[in-house]
Amino acid sequence: MNPNVPAVSFEATIEELADVQIRYANLTSVGKQMRRQYARGLGIAVGLTFAIATAAEFGWSDASAWVTSGAVGLLIGSLVAGYGRLSYDDRLRRRQTQLLKSAFGPEPFRCDVELTPEGVVTRQKNTVTTNPWKDLTAVNELPEGVELCFQGGYVMVRARAFGSPAERAYFLDSITHWRNERGLAAPAR
């Protein structure tokens, strides 16, 4: 890494890599659609099961039992669908973590993030990726770190990568500098 270019390094865990993948998926239309489908499917399955079981309990021929069962089933299904939206990320994160551990092992690994004239360069697990400045769509300061959203990419620089708040501020200012050097509009912040 060039000492004149802002660069940071940190140890990342497999769990954090899974978290980054889930965060990125949630930014995509396909990821959002998958979450909605999971929640709807879970809500419909539970709601219908509850409605049918309740109707069977009160009598199949009683129309008011069907109406009441259907209304309660709809309410229960809606609540379960809401829970499904909340639980989806956790379920997916657990599965993704298992997959990544089987592929890479459980040990933490080093992540390097370097701001260069071409873009944001990341190095991890024998992989080098460059996300060009023109593709940067958002920069978010989160308690977990600095989130960089790209068209077709995502980088999370963990908070522990910065030695001080001043170093974090310099890193963020450098992002603005490189974008301005390229004549690009500032990303959402």
Q: Tokens for 104?
A: 């890479």
- The structural domain count of the chain equals 2
DSSP state of 181: H
62 inside domain: yes
Instruction: Say if residue 39 is in the same domain as residue 96.
Output: yes
Instruction: Say if residue 113 is in the same domain as residue 100.
Output: no
Tell me which H or E stretch contains 55: helix 29-58
1 inside domain: no
DSSP state of 104: H
| Domain boundary pick from 58, 76, 104 | 104
pTM above 0.75, yes or no: no
Residue-by-residue pLDDT tens, the chain, 189 positions = 444 558 999 998 889 888 888 888 887 888 888 888 888 898 889 888 888 888 777 776 777 777 888 888 888 888 988 888 888 888 888 998 998 888 888 888 899 999 999 999 999 888 899 999 999 988 999 999 999 999 888 999 999 999 999 999 999 999 988 888 877 766 655
Alpha carbons 130 and 114: distance in angstroms, whole number: 9
pLDDT digits (tens, 9 = 90+) for 72-120: 888 888 898 888 888 888 888 899 899 888 888 888 889 999 999 999 9
Neighbouring residues of 156: CB distance < 8 A, sequence distance ≥ 6: 16, 19, 20, 23, 144, 145, 146, 147, 148
Looking up residue 128, the CATH number of its domain turns out to be 2.30.29
What Å distances lie between residue 23 and 97, 153, 167, CA to CA? Answer: 14, 11, 25
| Domain boundary pick from 104, 136, 168 | 104
18 inside domain: no
Q: Which domain holds residue 72?
A: 25-104
Alpha carbons 77 and 67: distance in angstroms, whole number: 15
Instruction: Say if residue 115 is in the same domain as residue 99.
Output: no
